[in-house]
Amino acid sequence: MNICVYGAASDNIADVYKKAGEALGEEMARRGHALIFGGGASGMMGAAARGVSRGGGHITSIAPSFFDVDGVLFPECDEYIFTDTMRERKQKLEDLSDGFVISPGGVGTFDEFFEILTLRQLNRHQKPIAILNTEGYYEYMLAMMKNASDLHFMTPLNFDLIYVSDRVEDVLDYLENPGDMFHGISELRDLK
């Protein structure tokens, strides 16, 4: 599969997250999956790319040309696709990928997650979406979504469109066989 990994550009994050990103990348390569990502050399993006690279997997960077300056892009990608804008880049990431992992990130990652989920909700694609919830990073976001659902701003059916786990193996198992696994909803019911 071509798996798109979204995640933080910030390098100023705890090692536990980077280690999880690297483990995700290594396990992807071991299973024969290719990485499609925003091309960043730092943070969770760099961690996932290092893992895939270490495992000998294929890496495609999709980034706007203005990121093509020293140190921003991961230097060992097999392919570099440049776009004019961030929007075009997001579209290409979506088009070229068979499934999506949302790893811990900031506003750029939130934007990518909510766009891909919105498009799934509207049946614009049928590709699986999994959240890598390392150290429970996404609990607050999931609680916000649960609140939106409780107050009827969002249908609870959206929870059936995402899978949530802190284990990279489970996240990849889900992307490979989305029909076979429990969805995030069972965990979300427990959120206060």
Contact between 106 and ligand AMP per CB under 6 A:
yes
Inter-CA distances, 10 with 72, 101, 168, Å = 11, 17, 21
**Whole-angstrom Cα distance, residue 59 to residue 61?**
7
| Residue 75 one-letter amino acid | P
Q: Which is nearer to ligand AMP, 10 or 176 (CB)?
A: 10
CB 146 within 8 A of CB 114: no
Does residue 108 bind ligand AMP (CB under 6 A)? yes
Residues 37 and 52: their CA atoms lie apart, in Å, by 11
| DSSP structure string for 85-144 | SHHHHHHHHHHH-SEEEE-S--HHHHHHHHHHHHHHHTTS----EEEE-GGGTTHHHHHH
Contacts with ligand AMP by CB under 6 A: the residue count is 18
Task: Work out which of 46, 55, 105, 128 binds ligand AMP, going by CB under 6 A.
Answer: 105
Figure out which of the listed residues 63, 116, 130, 162 binds ligand AMP, where binding follows CB under 6 A: 63
User: With respect to ligand AMP, which residue has the nearer C-beta, 8 or 28?
Assistant: 8
- Site stretch for ligand AMP (CB under 6 A), options 17-25, 32-40, 136-144, 165-173: 32-40
Q: Which is nearer to ligand AMP, 63 or 172 (CB)?
A: 63
Q: What are phi and psi of 62, to 5 degrees?
A: -125, 110
Of 69, 70, 107, 153, the one binding ligand AMP (CB under 6 A) is 107
8 binds ligand AMP, rule: CB under 6 A: yes
Residues that bind ligand AMP (CB under 6 A): 6-10, 38-40, 45, 63, 67, 72, 105-109, 112
